[in-house]
Amino acid sequence: MILAGDVGGTKVHLALYNFEGGRLKPVRDEKYPANEFSTLDAVVTSFLAGGSSGGAPATSPGEIVAACFGCPGPVRNGRLKLTNLPWTLDQRDLAKSLAIEHIFLINDLEANGYGIPELAPASIVTLHEGDAAEVGHRGLIAAGTGLGEALLIWDGKTHRPIPSEGGHCDFAARNDREVGLLQYLRKTLNGRVSWERVVSGLGIQNVYAYLRDVEKLDEPQWLRNKMKTEDPNAAIGRCAEDGSSALCYETMQTFAAAYGAETGNIALKVLAAGGMYLGGGIAPKMLKTLTSGGFMQAFLDKGRLSPVLESIPVRVILDDTCALLGAAGYAEARAAEVSGHSERAASFHV
Whole-number pLDDT of residue 53: 64
Does the pLDDT value for residue 129 go beyond 90?
A: yes
Whole-number pLDDT of residue 321: 94
SS3 of 211-248: HHHCCCCCCCHHHHHHHHHCCHHHHHHHHHHCCCCHHH
| pTM of the shown model | 0.93
Dist. CA 23–CA 3, nearest whole Å: 15
Nearest residue to 286 (alpha-carbon basis) of 236, 245, 247, 244: 236
CB 194 within 8 A of CB 242: no
Question: Which DSSP category does 171 fall into?
Answer: P
**Dihedral through CA 215, CA 258, CA 321, CA 268, nearest 10?**
-170
Domains of the chain (ranges plus CATH)? 2-115+320-349 (3.30.420.40), 123-318 (3.40.367.20)
Is the torsion defined by CA of 33, 34, 39, 45 positive or negative? positive
The pLDDT tens digits for 240-266 are 999 999 999 999 999 999 999 999 999
CB 136 within 8 A of CB 271: yes
Whole-number pLDDT of residue 73: 87
